[in-house]
Amino acid sequence: MLPVPTIPAFMPPRRILMGPGPSDVYPEVLAAQSRPTIGHLDPLFVGMMDELKSLIQYAFQTKNEMTLAVSAPGSAGMETCFVNLVEPGEKVIVCRNGVFGERMRQNVERVGGVAVVVDNEWGEPVCPDKVEAALVAHPDAKFLAFVHAETSTGALSDAKTLCTLAQLHDCISIVDAVTSLGGVELLVDEWGIDAIYSGSQKCLSCVPGLSPVSFSPKAVAKLKARTTQVQSWFLDQTLVMGYWGNGNGAKRSYHHTAPVNALYALHESLRLLANEGLENAWARHRKMHQLLRDGLTKLGLKFVVEEASRLPQLNTVYIPDGVDDAAVRKHLLEEYNLEIGAGLGALAGKAWRIGLMGYGARRENVSLCLHALEESLNQN
């Protein structure tokens, strides 16, 4: 037999998470996750799921019946949308202005779709004129896919305008709202978004591992009209909805063992968001961004994204010449228990990503971050 492992209990330090995610988790959410586990078909749990569904609908501002939380992180929410909607050979206009637009392209190709890529510079929002030109050039396109809030750069695209273009060209829109949900204005029904996914670990300040998603009636009709089987059994929404309920009081059918305690946590984080009010949450993120922006500017740091297209909850700044990226982030972590994010893709080694998400969008976090950065830059 193998020797008995002698491993102590893992006791993580209390970090201040100001990177691109996960964000600081509300204490009430951590407490909710520690409540007793009950069965995922227990009537009390089913009742909680109904409440959770209504809370997700509120956060997305939608009445879509097919609204739920995928039992996996935002990347699985992305895959849920593509594997359920896109069939082999179907053409998708994919907007790419960072890492996550590129992941959309990869999803399209993995399900056998044809990706028509509309490229924009890193740090810029998706250009509606380029999208319109692509839609005109490809009248057989069935989908328009774009990232509302590009986590790799901090750029915010005009989802309302892009979805209007999709509607004009009879396309189904697929929208990545992983970093935008709860942090900036997002109106699914009013803007005509057809399929949308997010993540629990960003502006919702919940534990990582869940992905709120929503499908419009148009998207549901496309799913039901498929002539090929959904590629993924686990993510097949025609099966999953039997567990989440279809709104007519039908008995829930077993699909998989839901992450019971994580769903408690999401229920609590969305309840807190509803109590604060979406417009108040959006305003809080803007206010904290302005404080951080002013402080970073005084330190001589330059933003990657122009102010008009800048996400308040994800602030990407260029690393000054001669400054050691890893050394600064290490100093912040070891001396202040403060985490900020490194650059991704084209911005790797060139930028820092500073998050102000959910519970982390607080004045004391802004003050600590600015003080710690100033000290680190003076030492570098």
Comparing C-alpha atoms, which of 71, 112, 49 is closest to residue 235? 71
Q: Which residues of the chain have pLDDT under 70?
A: 245-251
Query: Matching CATH topology for 16-21+278-379 and 27-274?
Result: no
- Check the annotation: does 105 bind a ligand: no
Q: Say which CATH architecture domain 16-21+278-379 belongs to.
A: Alpha-Beta Complex (3.90)
- Write the CA distances from 192 to 77, 105, 152, 317, integer angstroms: 19, 22, 25, 33
Q: What is the pLDDT of residue 255?
A: 86
CA distance 202 to 208: 8
96 φ, ψ (degrees, to nearest 5): -125, 110
Q: How far is CA 204 from CA 188, 302, 356, 371, in A?
A: 17, 28, 11, 26
Distances (CA, A) of 102 to 55, 174, 239, 304, 370: 30, 14, 28, 19, 32
Single-letter code of the amino acid located at 51:
E
CATH match of 27-274 with 3.90.950.10: no
Q: Count CB atoms within 10 A of the CB of residue 339.
A: 18
Quote the pLDDT of residue 379.
84
Residue 248: the pLDDT is 53
| Residue 159: predicted pLDDT | 98
Measured distance CA(26)–CA(3) in Å, rounded = 40
Res 243: pLDDT = 77
Torsion angles phi and psi, residue 372, rounded to 5: -65, -40
Closest CA relative to residue 199, chosen from 95, 59, 339: 59
pLDDT in tens, 134-169: 999 999 999 999 999 999 999 999 999 999 999 999
Task: Note the pLDDT tens digit of each residue in 21-53.
Answer: 999 999 999 999 999 999 988 999 999 999 999
Task: Report how far residue 371's alpha carbon sits from residue 85's, in angstroms, rounded to the nearest whole number.
Answer: 47
What are the residue ranges spanned by the domains of the chain?
16-21+278-379, 27-274
**Residues 329, 334: Cα–Cα separation, whole Å:** 9
